[in-house]
Amino acid sequence: MNRAHDSNQAKKSIELSKLFFNNISIDLIYGIPGLTDEKWKKNIDLALGYNLQHISAYALTVEPNTILKKLIDKGKIDNIDDGVLKRQNQIISVKLNKNKYLNYELSSFALKNYISINNSAYWQRKKYIGLGPSAHSFNGKKRIWNVSNNMKYINSLEKNKLPITIENLTEIDVYNEMVMTGLRTIWGISLDDIEKQLGGKFKNYLLDKSKVKIDKRLLVLDKKCLKITSKGRFLSDGIASDLFMLS
């Protein structure tokens, strides 16, 4: 994985953190080449032993221009196996649910009263302000991000200029974001919110597009909210894409 730390350092970091904090989250990655289901179960059991309030679990993705990508291309490491990803995702979902963790977002698990306020704001498209180089902000209609280069950021501020890029979201952009983020959470996509923010046209479009997914039991309509089912869970990105409005 080309990480700068090893497993002992990771465990030591958790142990030290528990001396000072009572609200801790860790990230786990599954689908790593060579990670058997048994090793994955041991990792989860180890994490559970720390009595953590929040656990995020992410499927390994191969990004361009990384050492992992190069090793896979050269045949030195096996490529990612979708079957393994699906199985290991199911393993952690079952284990954490049995230990009273709520899977409130596809990759996020929390004990009662410990749902991440920060991450939930992103999923629910709440407004936020980002400060510093590379930071992102969102005001409901625009996405704004600061230049990533430290010196350019500092020099711009010294000249009383904001080193930002602005993306103005169209109604279609807003609709697609509401679909994409809503399907990732237990709250789903609120039809009332779609209609309130964008109008009946978008609500009707969503209902029409979702009929096939509902018939296939990939989605369920629950109290005016479209939610992903356990069957559709691992297909959420594709389902969201099928519900998008292109123009």
| 97 shares its domain with 186 | no
In the numeric block, the tokens 């297909």 are attached to: 235
pLDDT for res 129: 94
| 26 shares its domain with 99 | yes
* Residue 201 falls inside a structural domain: yes
pLDDT for res 119: 87
| 156 shares its domain with 197 | no
pTM of the model: 0.87
In the numeric block, the tokens 């995020």 are attached to: 56
Q: Residue 40 is part of which domain span?
A: 7-115
Rg (CA), the chain: 21
| 51 shares its domain with 71 | yes
pLDDT for res 209: 96
pLDDT for res 2: 75
> Using CA atoms, how far apart are residues 169 and 180, in angstroms rounded to an integer?
15
| 69 shares its domain with 104 | yes
| 134 shares its domain with 93 | no
- pLDDT per residue over 202-225, tens digit each? 999 999 999 999 999 999 999 999
| 14 shares its domain with 80 | yes
pLDDT for res 247: 77
pLDDT for res 180: 95
- 104: enclosing H helix or E strand: strand 102-105
Q: What is the mean pLDDT of each run of 10 residues along the chain (247 residues)?
A: 88 97 96 94 97 96 89 90 93 97 96 93 91 94 95 96 95 96 95 96 96 96 94 91 92
| 105 shares its domain with 126 | no
pLDDT for res 100: 97
Residue 169's Cβ-side half-sphere holds a number of Cα atoms within 13 Å equal to 18
Give me the number of domains the chain comprises. Answer: 3
pLDDT for res 30: 96
- On whether the CB atoms of residues 122 and 111 are closer than 8 A, the answer is no
Instruction: Find the DSSP H helices in the chain.
Output: 7-20, 37-48, 67-73, 82-98, 117-123, 150-158, 171-183, 191-198, 200-215, 236-243
For position 45, which CATH number holds?
3.30.750
pLDDT for res 113: 96
